[in-house]
Structure 1
């Protein structure tokens, strides 16, 4: 089995950290817009289902192979973030109103796919 180069490892860890930061930002913005506390515990309680979904997306898409790719990595991470995040919220009696699902889907698409599109655009110039 080939060993990943330091550059490949750094790129994968950077992309994973960016995805997780995007999910935490999404949770923090959501809490702020609903006048909920922005303390670490509150943000973590809102973010964990979506962080779990994003991590699953990384595993399912083998994201470390193409960490900056919109397809398959970005789309898989985004879809898993929403689907698994909402399922976990439902299982824990957190809100999953249709309007929330729509807003969360759009917001996380902009965040998780947007930074990858930006990288793609910047590296193509």
Structure 2
């Protein structure tokens, strides 16, 4: 896999998560997508930085489920919810649960699939 492909895959999946959420609530998908994506995109970056920091003494492998995938997922979720709260966007418990589940499926799922195929 190319060096930046895993981050690109994660970012596309975060955008898809946000688009699905907007669509499921009958909100204009494209018109408000940036408003919905930016907190999770920043959380994704934080998750990546956390995963790279933890792996600083070893070789960082972005496509492993543990620890990279879990740290990236956790950073995306916690960071995304934190930035949503700071910006006055909703962080209802039901949304946190759905976001945690879908982001885990997306961000960990493709990594698990790669592992299973190897």
Same structural fold, with TM-score higher than 0.5 when normalized by the shorter chain: yes
Q: Secondary structure at the match of 1:19?
A: helix
Say whether residues 1:105 and 2:68 are aligned partners. Answer: no
Q: Select the structure of larger CA radius of gyration.
A: 1
Say whether residues 1:117 and 2:112 are aligned partners. Answer: yes
Q: How many residues align?
A: 113
Say whether residues 1:29 and 2:20 are aligned partners. Answer: yes
Deviation at 1:73, TM superposition (A): 1.0
Deviation at 1:14, TM superposition (A): 0.6
Deviation at 1:49, TM superposition (A): 0.5
State the TM-score, normalizing by the size of structure 1: 0.86
Structure 2 CA distance for aligned equivalents of residues 44 and 72 of structure 1: 29
Give every structure 1 segment of 4 or more consecutive aligned residues whose post-TM-superposition deviation is greater than 4 Å: none
Deviation at 1:43, TM superposition (A): 1.1
Structure 1 CA distance for aligned equivalents of residues 94 and 6 of structure 2: 29
Structure 1 CA distance for aligned equivalents of residues 73 and 60 of structure 2: 17
What are the ranges of 5 or more consecutive residues in structure 1 without an aligned counterpart? 1-6
Deviation at 1:60, TM superposition (A): 1.1
Structure 1 CA distance for aligned equivalents of residues 92 and 45 of structure 2: 23
Structure 1 CA distance for aligned equivalents of residues 61 and 89 of structure 2: 33
Q: Secondary structure at the match of 1:35?
A: coil
What are the ranges of 5 or more consecutive residues in structure 2 without an aligned counterpart? none
State the TM-score, normalizing by the size of structure 2: 0.91
Say whether residues 1:71 and 2:37 are aligned partners. Answer: no
